[in-house]
Every structure is written in C-alpha cells, then in structure tokens.
Structure 1
Amino acid sequence: MYRILDVLKFIVVFVLMGMIVYLVYLFYLTWTHPEVDIYLFNTSPYTFETFLKSLEERHIPPVDEHERLYKVLQRLDKSYLGNLRTHTEIPYDYRFFFRQVVPEFLQSGEQTPASPEQRGTILATFTRKSDYVAKLLRISGPDALILKGVRKVKGYTKRLEMTATYTSEFQYPTGLFVVDGQVLNPVLQAWDGLAILDSSGKFHIRNIENLEYQFRRYAIKHVHQDYLDFLKLAERQRFSIFQSHLLISNGNIDKSLDNTEPDRRRVIFQDVSETVSIYDSFNQKLTLYEAADILKEQYAAMYAMNLDTGPYGYCGRYDNDQRVVLYGGKGQNVELTNVLVFNYK
C-alpha cells in the first residue's frame, strides 16, 4: 500500500514539475518570440493584422500593443504582413507605415549583396553590418612607402585597394585630406564630395555643402569657424577624409558632369541603406554623367564619388598578402600619393 502511495506521489510530483517546466518554457517563448501568440496548448502567429485588430477591439492597452509591435519589428519577416497589402480597413494613422514602409523594408532585406568577388563591374559591396575596416593611406615614392596610415588590420585576410583622390603637380593629394585625425592637406577644392572614414573604419559619403555631425551643421566652405571646428572634430574623432567630385547627391545627378570626356570610371557609392559599393566601368568609356546615370538606374545610388583613374588609377585585390587581381596599374614613372583600402574577411 505504501509503495503504491509512493508511486502516486512520484507521478504527481513529476507531473507538477513537468507543468512548471512547460509554463516556464511558455513564458520564455512569450518573452523571446513576440511575433507569436502563446497559448497553453497551441501557438498563433502574430501578424500586423493582429496588432490592428487588438487596437480596434481594445482588449490590450495601446501602450502594451505598440511595445509588442516594436519588438516584432526587430525581426521583420514577410509572413507578418498577412493580407495588409490588400487590406482596405487600415486606420489612417497606420496606413502609410504598413502599406509602404514595411513592404519596402522587406524588399530591401531580400536584396542580399553578393560577395565582393562575384559582382562583375561592382568590385565590392559592404553593408552597414558587413565586417570590414576601411583605411586611408598617404604614400610616396616609387616603392609606395606609407607615410601615414595603416594598410592592414589584424584578423582581416582580404583587401581591396584603390587610388582615392587626385594627385597635384607637387605629388601631393589634392583637396582636403586627413588620415587618422591628422590634417595633411587643409586646402579645400571646389568639389562637393567628401569621403569620411570614422574611427571604426566605416565609410561614409557626404555633400560638403550639407555637412552635419551630431545635429550641428558645418559650412566649411563658407564659415571660417565652421571650417576650423570641423577639422578639430576630425582630429578628436580620428577621422580619415578625402575630397573628390560628387556625382550623385541625395539621389540627384550633377548635370554639369555631362561635359566631361568619356573615360574609364571607378566610382564609390552608397544607396539609401548606406551600403557601400565600388563600381568600375573597365573597358567601357563613360562621361561622369553616364557613370552616375548607370549607378542611379541600376543600383539606386543615393551618393556617389569619383575615384581617380587614368595613370594614377591603381586598383588591386589581395588575399593573405598575395595580390590575386590587378584591376588597374599605375602609369610609367607615376608615383601614387594616396590609397583607399577596404580590409574584409
């Protein structure tokens, strides 16, 4: 008799422990998967329709429902849309976001860039989440001796290198030129393109006429104090900076570029997601306007800057310090003055 009671006690304890574990598991799922409604014995997908229905039925306080929506948006998935694309009852205050913004988010997420070696005339593509470190070098002499900057980054085995900006008749980088916070050339050129490499090695293109940092605008072409303050900022933040022609600004092509002679073009550009890509026209000779038009129409470029080609148009790819591709060599008796390097894995 006692043995039977012991067995029953064991079964009851085992069942209770199992229920506790299951409830803890449900709580964990509820916390980690806000996109799923967790019930005792089943689950139900949480879509944006669920969010709108809950708001309309007012079963859950709006603040809680919006907090949950924010968590769901962290893991955006096509299945969350439900029938919203054809849904005609979306409240006005949510219509724009669910009909236009979210579908565009999903579309941009599906466009996963190929690896740098697989993009044809696109030599490389680096998203904001890509593990890369960009470096700017000041070099000199026939052996391209590095005078300022660091070419290689520990842990990164691959590099894509290219000439960044133009070289003056005095064998010096033209335009504003800063390496790791040291201002090497303070002389501004007329060009509107400004490439800024932040201290973590991420690459950014900015219009010099619309230059902002932490909600402050710097009119460095027009206001002396802004010019000085921006260079002090570059020194403090250890920015690397070079200047060049801006072909596309905020999605608009500079129409004056059509006056340029057709030539091989190498251009660095960003799209709306700030994905950085390097384009090379190779044997196709283009005006700067034609190159910009290709980048806007085929790659949705928002900002694009010209890189130096011609006799100074060096560009090569390296793997474990071995050059695997030479896309462009420098001309005879040409000494490079600057190189832009992308270290990646």
Structure 2
Amino acid sequence: MYQILNVFKYFVALLLVGILIGLISLAVVSYRDSDAFLTFRNAYTVETFLTRLRNGDASNPKEHGRLYKVVQALRPELVGKLPKDEDIPYDYRYFSKEVVANFLQDSSASLKVLKEDPNILQVFAPEEKYIAKLLLLSGANDAIARGERTVNGYAKRLEMTGTYTSAFDYPTGLFVIDGDVLNPALQTWDGLVIIDASGTLHIKDIRRLEYNFTEYDIDHSRQDYLNFLNIAKRAKLSIFQTHLLITGGAIDTSPTSDRRFRRRAIFQDQQHRVSVYDSFEEQPTLYELAETLKNNYGATEAVNLDMGPYGYCARYENGIRTKLYFAKGQGIRLSNILIFNYR
C-alpha cells in the first residue's frame, strides 16, 4: 500500500511538472505574440518584416499581424534600419518609407506650439476629452431656448457665438440641436459644423457631405435633404451653417473680398485637433484669415464664426467667468452659442 502511494505521488508530481511546463510555454508564446514582445531586446521591427519578406518568410497572415503590432506600438526604434527604396518590395515601399514616417511625426511638439500661441484660444486634441454643445438663445437676456450649457464632470467651458443672426434675431442657415431641426432654411454658405451625440465637433463641406459612406446633396436633392435630416434626428446631431474657409487643405474663399474685421474661426488639422482662433487686433479679410490658418497652423478644414457686435466669447470655470474675450454689442440679442466643455 505504501509503495502504491509513493507511485501515485510520483505520478502526480510528474503531472504537475508537465502542467507547469505547458503553462510556461503558453506564456512565452503569448508574450512573443503580444505588444510587450515589441519591447524585447531583439524586437520585431519594420526592418525585420521587410527582411523576412525578401527571404520569402513573411507572405502569411502571422507576419503581417506582427507588422500591425509594430504599428500599434510604433516608436522610432521599432522601425529599424530600412533598406534602400529599390530593395523594398514595391507593394510595401510606400507604407514602409512614407506612411510610417508620417505616423512618427511628433505631434506633441506641434500641440505644445498651438497651446502656447496667443491667437489660439483653445486646442482640443483627440485624446483630450471635450463635449461641444450648441444653444438656441431667445430674448433680450439671451435665455436658453434649446440645448444645455453645462455638462456634469466638466468644470471648464469656452463659449462663443456660432453662426450668424438674422434680422429676426434667429440663427441664419440650417440650424439643428440634438436632432431637432430649428431652422430648415439653407443658406448659400458651404460650411457645416456638425456636433455628434458624443460632443465631438466636425467641419464639413456641404458640397461633399457624407455620413456612413453615403453622400448627401442636401442643397439640390430634396430626398437627400430629408434623408440627411432624418439621420440628424436619429443620431441627435447638432448642426449650424456658416462660411467655409478651408476644405481638404485648400483655401475655399474668394481673395476679392476686402472687408476687414476682427475674426474668429474654428479649424481642424491633420491630427484631427479642433482649435479656436481669434485674430484680436488684426483685422484680416476672410481670405487672409484662411491663409493664416493654412500656412501657420496647417489647417485642413476651417469655418468662420460670427463676430462684430455678435462676436461674444468668454471662458468659465466652475460656473464663474474667468475671461471675457469679446462682449456683445449694446442692444444685441444673441441667437446661438457654441460651447466647448472640457476638463
């Protein structure tokens, strides 16, 4: 009996050792296939992939998956020493030499420059959570008729006039709040500012308007117009229409305009950052404003905001106004306000 017990103990010990070895092997394999492996001494790099590709060892999903993991954890040391263009297979040359280089551009440095620029009131990078809101105002006291000004958990806010106000003290052009169409009358301007249900702001060209890979010609096709506004209702979009300054990185306003004012604009860049610009003492034309945004800040999309006597703009923290950039004119009734709530 004692001998049988010893044999059983020996068998159990062998079994446990086998299980332990299996777990260690599994952990090693998982580690090598994880992003953590990319920090290992002999890290898999873009160079590694290209070398294996030339040797005929990378024409499979596993190696391409490793390349994708490199991109996910991308930093300069994970590129390696790339061969000359002629030594990189044609179908991988553009990605390896140009796209990877674009990915490695230090956007943090340009973000720091933006935040320190005196003409940039605020910049919102994709990783910095903000919630944009659009309000309809009414009456001499600018009471909120539609929309919500504040968001729980967001102590700071920057607010400003959005689109233009008509002679009837009402927002001009297409105007929608949380899916409710408050002004269906389109204007001639090509700029649309769209705020999605999460509070993220998007600048769109009405001539190239698309949603979920479907294009909508809302100022020519009645059906497209109705379909898009039905989408806005379902998706709880907020929208206003204004002058488009830049679209697709190209200036989209006429150089012939000679009207000079203090200007305010919202623009986006290649890093999908949203920035608010104020010209302050400068009084550019719309074209000069667009040139400044494109040449100085790399704007890819930009729209003009209402200024003059309607050009209200202020900053708040914990409900207290900390900065008034521009007060509305005497007797002016604001019709709308764009708000960025942030932390």
Same fold? TM cut 0.5:
yes
Q: Secondary structure at the match of 2:198?
A: coil
Deviation at 1:343, TM superposition (A): 0.6
Q: 1:1-345 residue pairs with structure 2 within 5 A? A: 23=25, 25-33=27-35, 36=38, 43-59=41-57, 61-84=59-82, 88-107=86-105, 109-111=107-109, 113-114=111-112, 118-345=116-343
Equivalent residue letter for 2:28: L
For these two proteins, the number of residue pairs brought into alignment is: 333
Equivalent residue letter for 2:281: N
Cα deviation digits, residues 308-329 of structure 1 (max 9, x gap) = 1110001111111111111111
Cα deviation digits, residues 89-124 of structure 1 (max 9, x gap) = 211111111111111111154446249964421111
Deviation at 1:34, TM superposition (A): 6.1
Task: Tell me if the contact between 1:35 and 1:72 (Cα under 8 Å) persists in the aligned partners.
Answer: no
Equivalent residue letter for 1:314: Y
Deviation at 1:62, TM superposition (A): 2.3
Counterparts of 2:83 and 2:162, CA distance in 1: 45
Q: Secondary structure at the match of 1:154?
A: coil
After TM superposition, the structure 1 stretch with the greater mean CA deviation from structure 2, 166-175 or 22-31, is 22-31
Counterparts of 1:57 and 1:85, CA distance in 2: 14
Equivalent residue letter for 1:26: V
Deviation at 1:31, TM superposition (A): 3.3
Deviation at 1:23, TM superposition (A): 4.7
Q: Secondary structure at the match of 2:74?
A: coil
Counterparts of 1:108 and 1:243, CA distance in 2: 33
Task: Tell me if the contact between 1:30 and 1:37 (Cα under 8 Å) persists in the aligned partners.
Answer: no
Partner of 2:5: none
Task: Tell me if the contact between 2:242 and 2:303 (Cα under 8 Å) persists in the aligned partners.
Answer: yes
Structure 1 pair 105/216, CA: closer, same or farther in 2 (3 Å)? Answer: same
Task: Tell me if the contact between 1:195 and 1:243 (Cα under 8 Å) persists in the aligned partners.
Answer: yes
Task: Tell me if the contact between 1:114 and 1:125 (Cα under 8 Å) persists in the aligned partners.
Answer: no
Deviation at 1:195, TM superposition (A): 0.4
Q: Secondary structure at the match of 2:254?
A: helix
Task: Tell me if the contact between 2:244 and 2:253 (Cα under 8 Å) persists in the aligned partners.
Answer: no
Deviation at 1:214, TM superposition (A): 1.3
Task: Tell me if the contact between 2:162 and 2:337 (Cα under 8 Å) persists in the aligned partners.
Answer: yes
Cα deviation digits, residues 294-342 of structure 1 (max 9, x gap) = 1101111111100011100011111111111111110111111100000
Task: Tell me if the contact between 2:189 and 2:242 (Cα under 8 Å) persists in the aligned partners.
Answer: yes
Structure 1 runs not aligned, ≥5 long? 1-8
Deviation at 1:128, TM superposition (A): 2.4
Equivalent residue letter for 1:31: D
Task: Tell me if the contact between 2:253 and 2:286 (Cα under 8 Å) persists in the aligned partners.
Answer: no
Q: Secondary structure at the match of 1:113?
A: helix
Counterparts of 2:136 and 2:229, CA distance in 1: 18
TM-score by length of 1: 0.89
After TM superposition, the structure 1 stretch with the greater mean CA deviation from structure 2, 231-240 or 138-147, is 138-147
Structure 1 pair 327/116, CA: closer, same or farther in 2 (3 Å)? Answer: farther
Deviation at 1:126, TM superposition (A): 1.3
Structure 2 runs not aligned, ≥5 long? 1-9
Task: Tell me if the contact between 1:35 and 1:47 (Cα under 8 Å) persists in the aligned partners.
Answer: no
Counterparts of 2:220 and 2:154, CA distance in 1: 40
TM-score by length of 2: 0.89
Equivalent residue letter for 2:34: T
Deviation at 1:216, TM superposition (A): 1.3
Counterparts of 1:296 and 1:85, CA distance in 2: 35
Counterparts of 2:95 and 2:26, CA distance in 1: 35
Identity of aligned residues (%): 48
Q: Secondary structure at the match of 2:241?
A: strand
Counterparts of 1:293 and 1:226, CA distance in 2: 33
Task: Tell me if the contact between 2:38 and 2:73 (Cα under 8 Å) persists in the aligned partners.
Answer: no
Q: Secondary structure at the match of 2:173?
A: coil
Equivalent residue letter for 2:75: D
Partner of 2:7: none
Equivalent residue letter for 1:150: E
Counterparts of 1:297 and 1:316, CA distance in 2: 27
Equivalent residue letter for 1:323: R
Structure 1 pair 86/330, CA: closer, same or farther in 2 (3 Å)? Answer: farther
Counterparts of 1:109 and 1:170, CA distance in 2: 44
Partner of 1:5: none
Equivalent residue letter for 2:133: K
Equivalent residue letter for 2:323: V
Structure 1 pair 35/55, CA: closer, same or farther in 2 (3 Å)? Answer: farther
